[in-house]
Structure 1
Amino acid sequence: MGRFKLFLPLIALVVLLPLFYVGLKLDPTAMPSALVGNSVPEYSLSLVSNEQQSASNEDLKGQVTLLNVWATWCFACKAEHPYLNKLSQQGVNIVGVNYKDDRNAAKKWLRELHDPYLYSLYDNEGRLGLELGVTGAPETYLIDSEGVVRYRHIGVVDERVWSQILKPLYEQFTATASN
């Protein structure tokens, strides 16, 4: 029994090495979404710009859209915002979801930093965010012309993310919608 105790660390290492190996190959930023392949959850929310106007999930149908979750309290959102403005100027359809934020602060943000959104939903209670599975801002969802979530990106959308991931998908679903 005494010799067996000497081999316990070796046995533990042999058991754990394959787990460590697999863990090193996993992408820590990849978080699967149960929504991918399903319709955007039903909602009806007022707009940041006008609390008397609202939009619903039905408004996402008919065109491929990036649904971008943002907030004024989010530092990464501020870093992402200029690139979203650039995409908007190139004709990319972007709808904002202002997440757990102050409406006046959001209005000021869009006025000062320019507004890349077709419109921005005001999700002050975070209910839409909860149904989307938002873990934090920014998050961006690629929505096809039928209102189905096709991709979820957690983090900042920048040149690399757009050109390598989102643009090919955006163009693929836009081409499919045209046919």
Structure 2
Amino acid sequence: MSRLKLFIPLIIFAVLAVLFWRGLSLDPSEMPSARVNKPVPEFSLPTVADPEAQITQEIFQGQVSLLNVWATWCAACRIEHPFLVELAEQGVPIYGVDYKDDVAEARKWLEQLHDPYELSVVDAEGRLGLDLGVFGAPETYVIDKQGVIRHRHVGVVDQRAWDEEIGPLFERLKNE
């Protein structure tokens, strides 16, 4: 029995080495979402442009679109914004979720930097973000014609992310 105790550190080291090796093989940028392949969660929210409006998840029916979670306090959102404007100019429908933000600042942001969104709902309390599983802004979801989330991209949408990840899926869903 005392000889077996000598091997305990070696066994612990082997187990930790396997766990470490497994951890190194994971992609840290890949963040799974429980919402992928499920409908956009139900919501009824006002828009940045019209606080009296009540928009629901029904806006995602009938076309492939992007749902972009953004905020004026988000530095990465400012980086991705010009590319979203380019996508919108190319005819890509983008809907925004102004996440836990000041609406007056959001209006000013969209006026100054151009508005790429078909509309942007105000998620002041973050409930829609919570239902979507948002970790933080920016996050972008690809929504199919039936209003089902088909992909989630965490971080800045730029030309590389569009060309390698989001764009091909967007085009495939559009052509289905």
Query: With structure 1 as the length reference, what TM-score do the two structures score?
Result: 0.93
Deviation (angstroms), 1:9: 3.2
SS of the aligned residue for 2:141 comes to strand
2:161 equivalent in structure 1: 161
The CA deviation at 1:157 is 0.6
| Equivalent residues in 2 for 1:132-147, closer than 5 Å | 132-147=132-147
Partner of 1:105: 105
Give the alignment's Cα RMSD to 1 decimal: 1.3
TM-score if structure 2 supplies the norm length? Answer: 0.95
Worse-matched range after superposition: 143-152 or 23-32: 23-32
Q: Distance in 1 between matches of 2:13 and 2:44?
A: 54
How far did residue 44 of structure 1 move? 1.1
SS of the equivalent of 2:72 reads: coil
Gap runs ≥5 in structure 2 = none
Matched letter for residue 165 of structure 2: I
* Offset of residue 11 of structure 1: 2.2
Which amino acid in structure 2 is aligned with residue 112 of structure 1?
Q
Confirm whether residue 62 of structure 1 aligns to residue 62 of structure 2. Answer: yes
Q: 1-side partners of 2:5 and 2:64: how far apart?
A: 62
Give 1:24's aligned residue. Answer: 24
1:84 pairs with 2:79: no
Q: Distance in 2 between matches of 1:43 and 1:58?
A: 9
Deviations 1:119-169 (A, max 9, x none): 101111111111111110001110001000000111111111110000010
SS at match of 2:27: coil
CA distance in 2, matches of 1:76, 1:2: 58
Question: Deviation digits for residues 38-73 of structure 1, max 9, x if unmatched?
Answer: 100011111101112231100111100100000000
Q: Distance in 1 between matches of 2:152 and 2:61?
A: 17
Q: Which amino acid aligns with 1:84?
A: L
The corresponding residue for 2:94 is: 94
1:101-128, Cα deviation, whole Å (9 max, x unpaired): 0110000000001100011011111111
CA distance in 1, matches of 2:4, 2:130: 51
Distance 1:7 1:113 in 2: 64
Deviates more, 1:136-145 or 1:2-11: 2-11
Equivalent position of 2:50 in the other structure: 50
Quote how far apart the aligned CAs of 1:29 are: 1.6
Cα deviation for residue 16 of structure 1 reads 1.6
d(CA) in 1 for partners of 2:9 and 2:159? 47
Aligned to 2:175: 175
